[in-house]
């Protein structure tokens, strides 16, 4: 035990020669650790970056020693999303840079369906040749791009596709907040708002949990709300981790939040408990909704939601008594981001209920974050390609879906019929998460051209013909990120580490070289450093200055509370009724819409949801995070304890879960923390990619149990519209 | 004298594992080597269910069973009352692991030695004016306080009194981590 040399420390591994270092296992002894701490203290270089473990992209400072060792990360106090602290994923995900499962070379699938390493030159020229052939035969609109937005990714993917003449740039929205954003837009002309949680009198959450899908600043707000005596109500089929701060957990049958909102609106409108002045002056269509909700009594909703009628009536009245410093929180993915057939309508109704409370824009109510942005680039070398005249594929078929996100699953479904012929993915594991994986994989494999750009082999990469290796987020500079908040900021993802694998390329280089190969390189005649600096110069900053400070605030643009009286709708008003919704087949104002399926005897609705240590399927292969999953059995499904007892199932038993599309085995956590008609399956597991050696085959994958289908009108993936049966293995 | 200790307010702990991953990250540990483990407790019936997460780590006991049983003197109590392991003396016999009532020592399969929370010892000594621990600064909800138990005016000492914080197992080992539950 005298050997105390440092041979392997996954996080601290020197970036140079990391492969050799990582191959040998070792440890750090205490004396070496102490010496290291003392040694590193005086020599650390601070480099600013943005986390990549989820879409929040929190700002942090990485401390790197002279020897290239990355020894510490500290969240930015000024970043609106992290507010000084990072979450478990942030610390864990940093290890992706040194993952032994990184993609290191461009890959091409051979005739046997196996990937072979090829040169960049070959990859770029073959992809360009196929791209141009598709454009020549079918036009640029037969090409699509699917990406999970990141600063450089958003800029370069859009520019690349527009340069080719295609409007088809999609985000991961269909499996995230598509329905929420689209429904809200129909009501208030904005895709989102922010509940002023810490300053409210009362706040109601529908399914969203700040303590599970963590954005640290939101969690701080919730913690402060409790300390401030805010009345916090959490409506969720599951007693989620945020319930630690709640006064009341209200279990609800999943997919029925709309009925709860409608019944609460019924209670308030019936008794004249609403902000009549606000409704008279700043809204249209109230009478239509008032009439519609007459039938939605608390007794009616009790049957559907499982919440007692007196509870519904009480909650509605408590919200009114707390108004205007009260609202239903905006949600994100959770209960109505993309979950059910009625998700878009739920989001619309939620905004209308909040309108009754008169909470818009005021302190303690619901506000719209202040924002900042770069100005227009005037130097001709940054000239952008013309925006294509066509709309994104899927907009016509899903008319109230958000065009900014796009119904990617629909676009993919048109591959077999030949409407879409080429598909690009950037940092998107679409196949594993956006809808039924087997179906999505089949669509992608039918394409004439399919290219995935990522840091590790994924289910999406597996389905593609070409895979291009990205650098990790720690190895590159990206386009400056402007973030809204009470005080908006601009923040930078800078190069923390030198490139680890020499044949990987950062996203900006990949798209620049692809554009050059496709003959549209004229829109990419600049480096990422030049672009970042030029964007910052438009607002009187420079890249050097942002590199130095990491996050720069715009206090002069800070949020000012005040009743919001003008909206980004055609007539500047809140819309209780929507013509677009009518055209899409919905009632003018939102009414009850059944979920697509409802569990019968012996059936359960399969619900998903985040755990604090993972982001969808993206972090499952991260060793420090998966080690937690395994140690605490976090991949287990949750089953209501009374139901389990009636079925003879005990905590830890192995069970078989079956839906129409899939059957799989896992272990069960028996708990009182879930209502009886639901089974909760954490959304992170069931990786089917052997190259992800840490994540492979751990647990079940939620989307395997969900058929391929799309929410009418709004385009969400209806991730919880599936029923399962559960039986004990060996019983 | 300085006597380092900690307070953990479990009424503000969401069980998010940020302290564990931050600890591993800043201390450069392998993924399975955890200095912080978690106990979960669920009581009541739906909808009146109470759920509690209790993070546990080396309590830096004044009456430390691990130190008493260590046959080689590898486990010892150092300056500031911090219980330490001198890995050059550890023979990996794991007596300390058996003796620890809190089960917070881990056997590092690679080194063969036993490890545990170090109270971020080196950092603390380098920053005597602002001693802190990685798990304290990393905690997203701020449920941890680190400081000097012998200073009655330290934030830690005051919080222990105000919140009536107690060691997890009473005075069993004179533990220096105090819990609010």
**DSSP-assigned beta bridge partners for residue A491:** A481, A551
Q: What is the CATH number of the domain that holds A658?
A: 2.40.40.20
A454, exposed or middle or buried, with CB in 10 Å at 0-12, 13-18, 19+? buried
Could you give the dihedral angle defined by the CA atoms of residues B16, B19, B24 and B25, in that order, rounded to the nearest 10 degrees? Answer: 90
How many domains does chain A divide into? 4
A512 part of a folded domain: no
The CA distance from A701 to A437, in Å, is: 9
A91 vs B: CB within 8 A: yes
- Phi-psi category of A692—alpha, beta or left, where left has phi over 0 and alpha has psi -120 to 50? beta
Regarding whether A233 and A362 lie in a shared domain, the answer is: yes
Q: Quick check: A632 and B38 CB within 8 A?
A: yes
Nearest C-alpha in B relative to A236: B47
Q: pLDDT higher for B30 or A477?
A: A477
A452: phi then psi, degrees, rounded to nearest 5: -120, 135
Instruction: Find, in chain B, the residue whose alpha carbon is nearest to that of A87.
Output: B18
Residue A553 lies in a domain: no
First to last CA, chain B: 29
pTM score: 0.94
Residue pair A240/A269 in contact by the 8 Å Cβ criterion:
no
**Alpha helices in A55-119, H assignment, sequence order:** 88-93
Half-sphere exposure of A482 (CA within 13 A, CB side): 16
Please give the Cα distance from A571 to A189 (Å, whole number).
10
Check residues B109 and A351 and name the one with the higher pLDDT: A351
Yes or no, beta carbons of A72 and B26 under 8 Å apart: yes
Q: In a mutagenesis test of the A interface, which of B76, B140, B144, B163 is the best target, namely the one with the most A β-carbons within 10 Å?
A: B140
Decide the pairing of beta strands B144-148 and A366-367: unpaired
Tally A–B CB contacts below 8 A.
169
In terms of domains, do A342 and A244 share one? yes
Residues A339 and A200 placed together within one structural domain of the fold: yes
* Shared-domain flag, residues A183 and A159: no
Mutate to test the interface with B, among A1, A64, A645, A651 (most CBs of B within 10 A): A1
In chain A, residues 341-370 whose CB comes closer than 8 Å to chain B: none
Task: Say yes or no: A645 and A691 in one domain.
Answer: yes
pLDDT at B127: 79
Whether residue A677 is contained in a domain is answered as yes
A673 touches chain B (CB under 8 A): yes
Q: Are A29 and B31 an interchain contact pair (Cβ–Cβ within 8 Å)? A: no
Burial track A604-640 (b if 16+ CB lie within 10 A, e otherwise): bbbbbbbbbbbbbbbbbbbbbbbbbbeebebbbbbbb
User: What pLDDT shows up at residue A191?
Assistant: 98
Note whether A339 contacts B: Cβ–Cβ < 8 A: no
Quote the tokens at residue A29: 């002894």
pLDDT more than 70, % of chain B:
100
Q: Note whether A672 contacts B31, CB cutoff 8 Å.
A: no
How far, in Å, CA of A486 to CA of A484, rounded?
Answer: 7
Residue of B nearest to A614 (CA): B16
Residue among B25, B38, B141 whose CB faces A91 most closely: B25
Range of the domain at A650: 604-728
Helices A257-270 and A309-322, axial angle in degrees (round to 10)? 60
> Does residue A592 lie in a domain region?
no
Q: Of A430, A433, A471, whose CA–CA distance to A447 is shortest?
A: A430
| CATH for A137 | 3.40.50.740
Contact assignment for A91 to B84 by CB distance below 8 Å: no
At which of A470, A503, A526 does a domain end?
A: A470
Q: How confident is the model over B1-7, as a mean pLDDT?
A: 94
The CB density around residue A664, as the number of other CB atoms within 10 Å, is 18
Q: Are residues A27 and A133 in the same domain?
A: no
- Residue B159 in 3-state DSSP? helix
> Which residue positions in chain A have pLDDT lower than 70?
1-43, 68-69
Q: Do A56 and A194 belong together in one domain?
A: no
Q: How many CB atoms lie within 10 A of CB A300?
A: 17
Chain A residues lying within 8 Å of B47, measured CB to CB = 239, 249-251
Angstroms from B86 CA to nearest CA on chain A: 7
**Is A578 in the same domain as A637?**
no
Per-residue pLDDT at A12: 32
CA distance B138 to chain A (A): 6
Pick from B17, B86, B118: CB nearest A88: B17
Encoding tokens for residue A675?
A: 């209502």
**Interchain proximity B46–A640, CB inside 8 Å:** yes
- Give B124→chain A minimum CA distance, Å: 11
CA of A611 vs chain B CAs: smallest distance (Å): 8
Q: Is the pLDDT of residue B9 over 70?
A: yes
Q: Give residue A65's pLDDT.
A: 76
- As a whole-number percent, the residues of chain B with pLDDT over 90 amount to 88
SS3 content of chain A, % helix, strand, coil (to 5): 35, 15, 50
Residues A83 and A162 in one domain: no
> Does domain B4-180 sit in CATH 3.30.70.20?
yes
Helices (H), chain B: 18-27, 65-69, 95-99, 121-126, 134-138, 155-162
Are A650 and A723 part of one and the same domain?
A: yes
Interior CA angle at A296 toward A293 and A302, to 5°? Answer: 150
Q: Does A240 lie at the interface with B, CB-CB under 8 angstroms?
A: no
Predicted confidence at residue A3, as pLDDT, reads 31
Q: Is residue A531 one of the residues assigned to a domain?
A: no
Least confident of A424-438, A590-604, B90-104, B116-130: B116-130
B-proximal residues of A, 29-68, CB under 8 Å: 29-31, 33-34, 36-38, 41
Residue B173, judged by CB atoms within 10 A of its CB (0-12, 13-18, 19+), counts as buried
Task: Give the distance from residue B171's alpha carbon to the nearest chain A alpha carbon, in angstroms.
Answer: 28
Residues A145 and A211 in one domain: no
pLDDT at A594: 98
Of residues B20, B47, B110, nearest to A249 (C-beta): B47
Within 8 A of B31 by CB-CB distance, chain A residues are 10, 623-624, 626-627
Q: Does A709 touch chain B (CB under 8 A)?
A: no
CATH label of the domain that carries residue A75 = 2.20.25.90
Q: Are residues A163 and A211 in the same domain?
A: no
Residues 6 or more apart whose CB falls under 8 angstroms from that of A502 comprise none
Q: What residues does each domain of chain B span?
A: 4-180
């Amino acid at each position: 035990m005298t050997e105390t040399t440092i041979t392997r420390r996954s996080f601290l591994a020197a970036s140079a020669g990391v492969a050799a270092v990582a191959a040998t296992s070792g440890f750090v002894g205490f004396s070496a650790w102490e010496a290291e701490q003392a040694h590193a203290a005086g020599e650390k270089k601070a480099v600013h970056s943005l986390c990549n473990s989820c879409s929040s992209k929190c700002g942090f400072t990485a401390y790197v020693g002279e020897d290239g060792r990355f020894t510490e990360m500290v969240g930015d106090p000024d970043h609106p999303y992290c507010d000084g602290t990072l979450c478990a994923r942030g610390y864990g995900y940093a290890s992706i840079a040194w993952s032994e499962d990184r993609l290191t070379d461009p890959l091409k699938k051979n005739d046997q369906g196996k990937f072979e390493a090829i040169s960049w030159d070959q990859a770029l020229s073959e992809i360009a040749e196929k791209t141009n052939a598709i454009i020549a035969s079918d036009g640029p609109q037969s090409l699509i791009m699917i990406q999970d937005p990141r600063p450089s990714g958003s800029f370069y993917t859009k520019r690349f596709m527009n340069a080719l003449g295609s409007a088809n740039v999609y985000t991961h929205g269909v499996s995230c907040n598509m329905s929420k954003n689209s429904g809200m837009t129909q009501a208030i002309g904005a895709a989102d708002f922010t509940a002023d949680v810490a300053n409210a009198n009362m706040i109601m959450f529908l399914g969203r949990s700040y303590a599970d899908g963590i954005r640290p600043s939101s969690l701080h707000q919730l913690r402060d709300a409790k300390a401030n005596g805010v009345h916090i109500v959490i409506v969720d089929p599951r007693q989620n981790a945020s319930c630690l701060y709640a006064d009341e957990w209200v279990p609800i049958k999943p997919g029925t939040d709309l009925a709860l909102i409608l019944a609460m609106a019924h209670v308030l409108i019936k008794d004249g408990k609403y902000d009549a002045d606000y409704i008279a002056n700043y809204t249209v269509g109230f009478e239509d909704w008032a009439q519609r909700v007459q039938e939605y009594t608390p007794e009616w909703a009790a049957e559907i939601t499982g919440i007692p009628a007196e509870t519904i009536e009480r909650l509605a009245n408590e919200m009114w008594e707390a108004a205007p410093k009260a609202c239903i929180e905006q949600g994100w993915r959770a209960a109505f981001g993309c979950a059910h057939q009625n998700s878009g309508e739920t989001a619309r109704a939620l905004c209308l209920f909040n309108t009754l409370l008169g909470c818009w824009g005021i302190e303690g109510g619901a506000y719209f974050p202040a924002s900042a942005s770069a100005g227009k680039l005037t130097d001709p070398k940054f000239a952008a390609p013309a925006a294509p005249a066509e709309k994104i594929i899927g907009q016509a078929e899903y008319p109230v879906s958000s065009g900014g996100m796009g119904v990617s699953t629909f676009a993919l479904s048109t591959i077999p019929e030949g409407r879409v012929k080429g598909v690009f993915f950037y940092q998107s594991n679409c196949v594993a998460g956006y809808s039924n994986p087997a179906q999505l994989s089949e669509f992608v494999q039918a394409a004439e051209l399919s290219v995935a750009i990522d840091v590790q082999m994924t289910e999406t990469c597996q389905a593609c013909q070409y895979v291009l290796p990205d650098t990790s987020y720690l190895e590159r500079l990206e386009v400056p990120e402007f973030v809204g908040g009470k005080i908006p900021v601009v923040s930078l993802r800078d190069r923390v580490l030198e490139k680890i694998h020499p044949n990987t390329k950062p996203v900006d280089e990949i798209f620049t070289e692809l554009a050059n190969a496709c003959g549209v390189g004229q829109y990419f005649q600049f480096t990422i450093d030049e672009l970042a600096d030029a964007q910052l110069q438009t607002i009187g900053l420079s890249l050097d200055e942002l590199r130095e400070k990491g996050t720069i605030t715009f206090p002069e643009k800070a949020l000012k509370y005040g009743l919001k009286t003008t909206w980004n709708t055609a007539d500047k008003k809140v819309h209780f009724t929507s013509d677009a919704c009518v055209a899409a087949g919905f009632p003018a104002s939102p009414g009850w819409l059944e979920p697509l399926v409802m569990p019968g005897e012996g059936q359960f609705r399969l619900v998903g949801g985040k755990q604090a240590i993972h982001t969808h399927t993206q972090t499952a292969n991260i060793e420090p995070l998966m080690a937690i999953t395994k140690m605490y059995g976090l991949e287990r499904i949750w089953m209501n304890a009374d139901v389990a007892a009636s079925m003879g199932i005990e905590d830890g038993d192995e069970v078989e879960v079956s839906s129409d599309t899939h059957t799989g085995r896992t272990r069960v956590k028996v708990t009182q923390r879930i209502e009886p008609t639901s089974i909760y399956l954490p959304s992170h597991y069931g990786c089917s990619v052997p190259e992800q050696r840490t994540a492979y085959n751990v647990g079940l994958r939620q989307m395997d149990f969900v058929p391929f289908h799309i929410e009418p009108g709004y385009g969400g993936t209806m991730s919880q519209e599936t029923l399962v049966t559960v039986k004990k293995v060996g019983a | 004298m300085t006597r380092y200790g900690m307070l953990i307010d479990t009424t503000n702990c969401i069980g998010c594992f940020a302290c564990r991953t931050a600890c591993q990250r800043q201390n450069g540990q392998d993924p399975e080597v955890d200095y912080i483990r978690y106990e979960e407790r669920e009581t009541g019936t739906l909808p009146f269910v109470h759920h509690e997460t209790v993070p546990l780590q080396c309590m830096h006991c004044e009456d430390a069973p691990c130190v008493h049983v260590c046959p080689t003197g590898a486990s010892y109590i150092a300056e500031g009352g911090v219980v330490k392991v001198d890995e050059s003396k550890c023979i990996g016999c794991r007596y300390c692991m058996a003796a620890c009532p809190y089960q917070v020592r881990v056997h590092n399969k690679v080194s063969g030695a036993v490890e545990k929370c170090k109270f971020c010892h080196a950092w603390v000594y380098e920053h005597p004016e602002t001693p802190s621990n990685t798990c304290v600064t990393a905690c997203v909800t701020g449920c941890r306080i680190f400081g000097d138990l012998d200073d009655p005016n330290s934030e830690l000492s005051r919080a222990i009194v105000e919140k009536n914080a107690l060691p997890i197992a009473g005075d069993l080992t004179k533990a220096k981590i105090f819990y609010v539950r």
